[in-house]
Amino acid sequence: MPEKEALEAITLLPAKRIGIGHLVGSIEVGKDADLLVLTGEPLDISTWVDQTIIDGKVVYERSKDEKIKRLLAPVAE
């Protein structure tokens, strides 16, 4: 499946199916804008969520995520 179609399949199309495509599902003037800021391509397995923004407020920042820091910390020998 082409990337554009795959992204629509997980964003705009479900919103349209449940009747809220006019409110969410794509970035357009007048729509709610809950956003993910990613480190790479959305469908790439190596991409991380860098920030999450809901109602205009940053609610998650990877740089401040202590669990991720511990998970990725080098193992002491």
Average pLDDT of 12-16?
Answer: 95
Say what the pTM is.
0.72
For residues 25 and 16, the answer to whether their CB atoms sit within 8 Å is yes
pLDDT, one tens digit per residue, over 31-41 is 988 899 999 99
Widest pairwise Cα distance in the chain: 55
Nearest in space to 62 (alpha carbons), one of 46, 32, 39, 43: 39
Q: Cα dist. 41→4, 52, 60, 68 in Å?
A: 11, 16, 19, 20
For residues 43 and 7, the answer to whether their CB atoms sit within 8 Å is yes
Predicted confidence at residue 72, as pLDDT, reads 87
